[in-house]
Amino acid sequence: MGSLGSHGFVQGENSREWGEEKEDGVIYTVSLKKVRHQTTTTSLQKLTHGENWFQPLQWETMKLRTLKAGTVERLVENLAPEDVEDQDTNSMHLNVFLATYRAFTTADQVLDILFRRYKEYKECRRRGENGKDSRHDVCRIIQSVLCIWMDIYQDDFDEPPAYRLLHRVLEFAEAQMSDGELARQTRHKLDRLRRSQALKSQQKVSVPNGHHLTSSEDVLFIENSDPDQPLDFDTISVQTMADQLTYMDAELFKKVVPHHCLGSVWSRRDKKGKSTTDAPTVKATIAQFNAVSFLVIATILRNTCSSTEDRVRIIEKWVDIAQECRILKNFSSLKAIISGLQSNPIYRLSETWAAVSKEKSEEYEELCTIFSEENNQMTWREILVKEGTAKYADTSSTKVKHVRKESAQKIQAQRLSGVMQGTVPYLGTFLTDLMMLDTAMPDTVDTNLINFEKKKKEFEVLAQIQLLQKTAQNYNIVPEPSFKAWFDSVEHLRYEESYRLSCEVQPLSDSMSPPAQGSRKERSLRKRISRLFSTSDWETSSANSNTSQSEDRVSETSMPDSPDSLVPEKMSASSSSSSLTSLEMSTSPYKNYDSSSNCVIRVSLSGESDNIYKSVLLTHQDHTPGVIKSLMSKFNLDAEEAEEYKLVQKLPDGELQIPDHGNCFYAINQSVEPNFILRKKSEEGELHRKSKKRTTLRKLMEVVSTQT
């Protein structure tokens, strides 16, 4: 590396990638950075030329190396390198590694390597080999790495009651480190975790309805409830509903463990027999999202004898609640409410939608456009960049006049009262981004070296989550007594039941799409329910089970054939952020993937749930046999039997079989959603017979409905 010597660094100028350097077990990306510096003014120069002597600017080229790929051993070694070429680069490597290492190694293995490296350098220093100060620096850096790890990623060491990893660190520190600082911090961390665990055990209360509450706030919901005056949707104010949903969403979002969001973790990619406790913080957020969407459906269809005016009033109230969530910057419940209103049983009620006031329809349409799929959800991402870390929402760009006026008044009142708002994002966006990264970038490169460039991309998304979790701390909402008890008690409807009730309200023969509003493409997009946060697990949900869901669910639950069946939402591309200090999502890690020659398809296995699928990056060079073999591997099937399978694309009006030996990319229909089925060729005859029976049955139902 070009050394600055005694010259003081002034400013970085231009840099460009120069190439790669390979060493044993590691690959570095080498970049050249042009910097300018000023030579140090000596006393002789001052005497000769005077105080006004001009210091000439000089330029120098520095060679910087960043780790691109490596073995676990080399990745851990680079946490405490002997020669620190660039402090910022080393700090970034530490942040990325600690955020993502769980995808390719274990905490025990990392500790083993760090402990061994510390002992080696300590022994070298004791023998006085080479006389380098770096021997002491490496030991000091390893100690700092362990302290940072325990402080920032406490969950890695929170293993009650034994706290095995903390005891490993404590025993090593007491035996090897003379200053006692690490041992002191480890004991302090151990005592704090034990006290916290004891407090949780004391606070856990079992209540008559079977719920288990674990926080003092949740206890308030039950203890202060008046059983003689149960809550009802009609009696809860719009503001209270929005506030309480925001409180619940914020509490769950703050508890999300960022690395649980990694595509290879929360979706349990290629991990047979993995425990269903994977990523519990992510699944709790998904369960809450689903519960809100369930609530929307249940409140609208709960009484089929209600008049159209009553259902219109409920829909308009939900639009008002969604607007309040927008002002509170609670985009999770906002998206959930929209998904509930766009669900098949509600969306098909064209007579009810036609009676919704023009004012509320415009308000609803504008809220829907926030999550439009146009340009990779550009509207939603721009809002998140603009308002993610802001103190208040910014609704000045709304085109609905009464909304702009009312929102401005509420935000101004917040400013005057000094009440700041946090942000609860729609987590599905980040989960989709991380799944895209996991699909598009290989885990290993160049003879099984861990692809650390992939980990850097993933860290950029995780950094956004961490930053928004800090802003979520700004909420100061007091939980309303009895609200959560009512929320948990609302009965959820299975899909068959909700669709039956919907048909009672408006028979099939009278069903039609809601009044046309906006472009056809926009209406199609607004109909879609979130691919990641399904509004229902119709086959498994029942009364008082709003938190249950299919553990493997990734996409929307498939629905029976109906005139108004919806299609899952398209997978979005990723956004990126460079650090925890700013929220920058103007670029995407996939900007180099030209949609004209690349696309990502979602493939489910025939005979299994549509909710479980694999994503594949398809290029213009891919042919069907190779794609099928790749999918066979992903589904843990024997690739030698690939010739017995075929790839079928799901279309709104049927299926499209991909030619067995054609170019897969050019054969697919790219004007519809990229949803496919990997199916055995022997199943074709049976499927054809079933399809014919369903078509006949549907026609008979339509005839009976018309006669009735």
DSSP secondary structure of 558-570: P----TT---PPP
What does the pLDDT read at residue 699?
Answer: 57
From the number of C-beta atoms within 10 Å of its C-beta (0-12, 13-18, 19+), residue 606 rates as middle
Q: Is residue 527 part of a domain?
A: no
- Phi, psi values for residue 656, rounded to 5°: -125, 115
What does the pLDDT read at residue 419?
Answer: 78
**Do 176 and 302 share a domain, yes or no?**
no
Structure-block tokens of residue 188: 């302090």
Count H helices, E strands: the chain?
Answer: 26, 12
In whole angstroms, give the CA distance from residue 649 to residue 629.
17
In whole angstroms, give the CA distance from residue 52 to residue 490.
80
**Do 193 and 306 share a domain, yes or no?**
no
What does the pLDDT read at residue 160?
Answer: 87
Q: Is residue 214 part of a domain?
A: no
Assess contact for 583 and 577: CB atoms under 8 A.
Answer: yes
- Phi, psi values for residue 651, rounded to 5°: -115, 160
CATH number of domain containing 174:
1.20.870.10
Q: Is residue 589 part of a domain?
A: no
CATH number of domain containing 627:
3.10.20.90
What does the pLDDT read at residue 277?
Answer: 52
What does the pLDDT read at residue 315?
Answer: 95
In whole angstroms, give the CA distance from residue 550 to residue 82.
48
Nearest in space to 114 (alpha carbons), one of 85, 94, 88:
94
Amino acid at 305: C
Nearest in space to 449 (alpha carbons), one of 68, 20, 100, 18:
68
Q: Is residue 560 part of a domain?
A: no
What does the pLDDT read at residue 687?
Answer: 55
**Do 194 and 242 share a domain, yes or no?**
no
In whole angstroms, give the CA distance from residue 245 to residue 315.
17
**Do 194 and 286 share a domain, yes or no?**
no
**Do 149 and 252 share a domain, yes or no?**
no
What does the pLDDT read at residue 204?
Answer: 53
Structure-block tokens of residue 619: 């290029």
Q: Is residue 631 part of a domain?
A: yes
**Do 252 and 379 share a domain, yes or no?**
yes
Neighbours of 542 (CB within 10 A): 12
Contacts 24+ apart (CB under 8 A), 222-228: 222/482, 222/485, 223/481, 224/481, 224/482, 225/481, 225/482, 225/485, 226/482
For residue 16, the 8-state DSSP code is: E
Residues of the chain with pLDDT below 50 are 1-13, 205-228, 270-276, 511-595
Nearest in space to 532 (alpha carbons), one of 677, 676, 433:
433
Nearest in space to 283 (alpha carbons), one of 300, 304, 261, 263:
261
What does the pLDDT read at residue 633?
Answer: 80
Helix axes 401-417, 358-369, angle to 10 degrees: 70
**Do 379 and 491 share a domain, yes or no?**
yes
In whole angstroms, give the CA distance from residue 577 to residue 582.
7
Assess contact for 642 and 628: CB atoms under 8 A.
Answer: yes
Q: Is residue 563 part of a domain?
A: no
**Do 417 and 488 share a domain, yes or no?**
yes
Q: Is residue 123 part of a domain?
A: yes
Of 199, 227, 251, the residue at which a domain comes to its end is 199
Q: Is residue 87 part of a domain?
A: yes
Cα 617–Cα 620–Cα 625 angle in degrees, nearest 5: 75
In whole angstroms, give the CA distance from residue 370 to residue 530.
13
Assess contact for 461 and 574: CB atoms under 8 A.
Answer: yes
How does strand 598-605 pair with strand 675-680? parallel
Q: Which residues touch 520 (CB under 8 Å, ≥6 apart)? A: none
Nearest in space to 488 (alpha carbons), one of 300, 210, 226, 280:
210
**Do 193 and 243 share a domain, yes or no?**
no
In whole angstroms, give the CA distance from residue 296 to residue 299.
6
In whole angstroms, give the CA distance from residue 618 to residue 668.
10
Of 469, 501, 533, the residue at which a domain comes to its end is 501
In whole angstroms, give the CA distance from residue 603 to residue 626.
14
**Do 101 and 245 share a domain, yes or no?**
no
Helix axes 107-127, 134-152, angle to 10 degrees: 160
Q: How far is CA 152 from CA 108, 207, 397, 472, in A?
A: 17, 35, 38, 18
Bridge partners, residue 206, by sequence: 212
From the number of C-beta atoms within 10 Å of its C-beta (0-12, 13-18, 19+), residue 281 rates as middle
Nearest in space to 367 (alpha carbons), one of 419, 315, 415:
315
What Rg value do the Cα atoms of the chain yield, rounded?
A: 29
Neighbours of 216 (CB within 10 A): 11
From the number of C-beta atoms within 10 Å of its C-beta (0-12, 13-18, 19+), residue 252 rates as buried
Number of domains in the chain: 3
Nearest in space to 674 (alpha carbons), one of 535, 573, 548, 534:
573
The domain containing residue 140 runs over which residues?
A: 71-199
- CA atoms within 13 Å, Cβ hemisphere of 24: 2
Cα end-to-end span (Å), the chain? 85
Assess contact for 428 and 382: CB atoms under 8 A.
Answer: no
Amino acid at 236: I
Place of tokens 């766009």: 342
In whole angstroms, give the CA distance from residue 534 to residue 256.
19
What does the pLDDT read at residue 523?
Answer: 37
CATH number of domain containing 494:
1.10.840.10
**Do 167 and 256 share a domain, yes or no?**
no
Neighbours of 92 (CB within 10 A): 17
Assess contact for 383 and 371: CB atoms under 8 A.
Answer: no
**Do 489 and 605 share a domain, yes or no?**
no
Amino acid at 431: L
Nearest in space to 246 (alpha carbons), one of 185, 320, 328:
328
pTM, full prediction? 0.69
Assess contact for 43 and 84: CB atoms under 8 A.
Answer: no
Please give the order of strands across the beta sheet that includes 645-651: 613-619, 598-605, 675-680, 645-651, 654-657
